[in-house]
């Protein structure tokens, strides 16, 4: 297949492109390098040094003899988006190209507006480009489990059958997201479903949990192929923060009581999920949803797992939660679609032992402790870019 990976310079986009290339697909990547600009803005950087996208592409060709196409541009630029699709003529598009951090979207008005404009308008341009260029292209869109929020009922896989006043229907599962970023993903899902329904497009929405891990078999082949390892309070995951704190001998800082539960999966499972979705496309007119997780844990349980796997004794400390969220909640998720296609998951404890501690120790000298302090407060609003 010819597969176009949008956001191919990012944490997940780059390993996905390599994995699909290794599987024998013809792959091209596109990026506008906005993610690197966020680092400059926030004064943060990946724990693991990363090369330029051009160097990465050249290295992959050097190591494997396989070429990856490269497009530089922005989905908000409709002319670029149309031109790219017409030139590359993909069979499938994997869409990672969005601002992906909830805290970033909650900094102030400017960042909230940017997040929704970038994500929703870029996705809408892409839908129009697919419809006008080749409606048979299969769109594989990376959503998030955060779209659902924390309902007090089981979370179904995108759709739910309801009975109301004696009548039944199948509708999109109700969403109650917890940030302007997650809201942008909800808007994306609704726009994609609408486009499938009225234009006959085909799409798979992957509602992805928190991804952990930094290496795949492909990125491990050469240090120049490494992907990001984010640990700062805005773009980093709580797991990465815990691992770094453990390696440095610091307490693991849990927000609130730690009863917040999150769906999770290994980065190696992420790229496999995308492979399965691309190779088993949705039907024309179908808006298909997979909940892309392999296990779920509370934040306290994640901290306990890191502490258990840590070679050194660590303490757990609880901080005031800067987010507005339930401290404890019901959480049960249906996630059968991808295992039925062949997904065999890795588990968190194995990944911690296999790679995360070792990678963190190797680059511990690059840690900036001040970057891990929470600076964005959900309860305060600002119309100015006051975040430092």
Tens of pLDDT along 345-379? 998 888 777 789 999 999 999 999 999 989 999 98
End-to-end Cα separation, the chain, in angstroms:
44
Strands 210-212 and 159-164: unpaired
Burial 350-377 (b: 16+ CB within 10 A, else e): ebbeebbbebbeebeeebeeebbebebb
Catalytic residues: 144, 181, 185
Question: CA–CA separation, 348 vs 378, rounded Å?
Answer: 29
The model's pLDDT over 251-274, given as tens digits with 9 standing for 90+, comes to 999 999 999 999 999 999 999 999
Question: CA–CA separation, 54 vs 9, rounded Å?
Answer: 10
How does residue 105 score in pLDDT terms, banded at 50, 70 and 90?
Answer: very high
| Domains of the chain: residue spans and CATH | 2-229+265-293+333-345 (3.40.50.720)
Cα separations (Å) of 293 from 86, 269, 339? 34, 9, 10
pTM of the model: 0.96
* Beta-strand runs (E) in 165-260: 167-172, 202-208, 210-212, 252-255
Mean pLDDT of the chain: 95
How many Å separate Cα 335 from the centre of its chain?
A: 17
Helix-, strand-, coil-residue percentages of the chain, each rounded to 5: 40, 20, 40
Is pLDDT at 386 greater than 60 in this prediction?
A: no
Question: CA–CA separation, 260 vs 115, rounded Å?
Answer: 24
Question: CA–CA separation, 235 vs 230, rounded Å?
Answer: 6
Q: What is the mean pLDDT of residues 81-103?
A: 98
Residue 312's pLDDT is: 87
Question: CA–CA separation, 4 vs 283, rounded Å?
Answer: 19
Is pLDDT at 44 greater than 60 in this prediction?
A: yes
The model's pLDDT over 142-182, given as tens digits with 9 standing for 90+, comes to 999 999 999 999 999 999 999 999 999 999 999 999 999 99
In the block, tokens 């119309």 appear at 383
- Residue 27 CB-half CA count within 13 A: 27
Cα separations (Å) of 149 from 84, 175, 182, 259, 301? 35, 7, 9, 14, 19
Plot region of 216 (φ>0 → left; ψ -120 to 50 → alpha; else → beta): beta
Residue 384's pLDDT is: 58
Residue 352's pLDDT is: 79
């Amino acid at each position: 297949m010819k597969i176009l990976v949008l956001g191919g310079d990012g944490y997940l986009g780059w390993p996905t492109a390599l994995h699909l290339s290794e599987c024998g697909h013809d792959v091209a990547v596109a990026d506008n390098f906005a993610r690197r600009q966020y680092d400059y803005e926030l004064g943060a950087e990946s724990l693991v040094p990363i090369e330029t996208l051009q160097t990465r592409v050249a290295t992959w060709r050097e190591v494997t003899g396989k070429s990856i196409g490269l497009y530089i541009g922005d989905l908000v630029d409709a002319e670029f988006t149309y031109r790219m699709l017409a030139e590359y003529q993909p069979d499938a598009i994997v869409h990672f190209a969005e601002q992906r951090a909830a805290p970033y979207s909650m900094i102030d008005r400017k960042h909230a507006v940017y997040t929704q404009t970038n994500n929703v308008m870029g996705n809408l341009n892409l839908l129009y480009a697919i419809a006008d260029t080749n409606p048979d292209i299969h769109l594989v869109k990376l959503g998030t489990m955060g779209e659902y929020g924390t309902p007090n009922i089981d979370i179904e896989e995108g759709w739910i059958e309801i009975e109301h006043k004696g009548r039944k229907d199948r509708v999109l599962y109700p969403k109650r997201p917890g940030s302007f970023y997650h809201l942008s993903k909800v808007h994306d899902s609704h726009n994609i479903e609408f486009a499938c329904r009225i234009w006959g497009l085909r799409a798979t929405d992957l509602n992805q949990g928190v991804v952990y891990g930094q290496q795949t078999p492909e990125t491990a082949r050469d240090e120049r192929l490494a992907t990001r390892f984010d640990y700062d309070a805005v773009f980093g995951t709580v797991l990465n923060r815990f691992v770094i704190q453990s390696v440095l001998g610091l307490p693991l800082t849990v927000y609130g009581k730690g009863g917040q539960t999150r769906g999770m999966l290994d980065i190696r499972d992420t790229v496999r999920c995308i492979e399965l979705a691309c190779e088993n496309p949705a039907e024309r007119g179908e808006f298909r949803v997979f909940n892309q997780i392999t296990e779920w844990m509370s934040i306290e349980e994640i901290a306990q797992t890191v502490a258990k796997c840590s070679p050194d004794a660590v303490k757990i400390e609880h901080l005031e939660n800067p987010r507005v969220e339930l401290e404890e909640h019901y959480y049960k998720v249906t996630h059968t679609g991808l295992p039925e296609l062949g997904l065999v998951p890795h588990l968190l404890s194995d990944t911690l032992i296999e790679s995360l501690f070792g990678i963190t120790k190797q680059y511990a000298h690059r840690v900036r402790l001040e970057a891990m302090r929470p600076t964005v407060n959900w309860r305060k609003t600002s119309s100015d870019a006051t975040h430092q």
